[in-house]
C-alpha cells in the first residue's frame, strides 16, 4: 500500500490517496475531527461541505481528479495473468493420466 498525501494538508485537514495492491484505490479524508474513506474523487471533495468553494477546496478537487485519472480505481496487474498455469495441452494430460 502506498500513500500519496495532498500537498495542502495541515493539522486539522488531511487527505491521503491510498494505492493498494488488493482492492480498489481510495481517499482517506480527515476533516473536522472525523475521518472518512471515499472511493470516488468527487465524494472525497464533498467531505469539505461549504469549504469546497475556497482555494484549498478547489485545489483538492483538482488533485483528487488527477490522482484518479493517473492511477484509476485499480492500477495493479496481479489479477491479470498473461500465461497459463499449465503449459501442457489437454490431450497430453490425458495421455499422462492413462
**What pTM, to 2 d.p., does this model score?**
0.71
Rg of the chain over Cα atoms, rounded to whole angstroms, equals 21
| Minimum mean pLDDT range among 10-14, 20-24, 32-36 | 20-24
Measured CA to CA, the distance from residue 75 to residue 42 in angstroms comes to: 19
Reported as a single tens digit per residue, the pLDDT across 34-89 is 999 999 999 999 999 998 889 999 999 999 999 999 887 665 554 555 555 556 66
Which pLDDT value is given to residue 5?
95
Can you name the residues that pair with 77 across neighbouring β-strands?
A: none
Burial 78-93 (b: 16+ CB within 10 A, else e): eeeeeeeeeeeeeeee
- How many whole angstroms separate alpha carbon 55 and alpha carbon 61? 10
Amino acid at each position: 500500500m502506498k500513500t500519496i498525501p495532498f500537498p495542502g494538508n495541515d493539522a486539522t485537514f488531511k487527505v491521503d490517496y491510498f494505492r493498494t495492491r488488493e482492492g480498489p484505490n481510495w481517499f482517506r479524508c480527515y476533516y473536522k475531527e472525523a475521518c472518512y474513506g471515499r472511493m470516488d474523487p468527487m465524494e472525497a471533495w464533498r467531505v469539505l461541505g461549504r469549504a469546497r468553494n475556497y482555494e484549498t477546496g478547489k485545489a483538492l478537487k483538482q488533485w483528487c481528479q488527477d490522482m484518479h485519472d493517473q492511477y484509476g480505481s485499480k492500477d495493479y496487474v496481479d489479477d491479470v495473468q498473461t500465461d497459463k498455469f499449465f503449459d501442457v495441452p489437454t490431450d497430453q494430460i490425458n495421455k499422462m493420466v492413462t
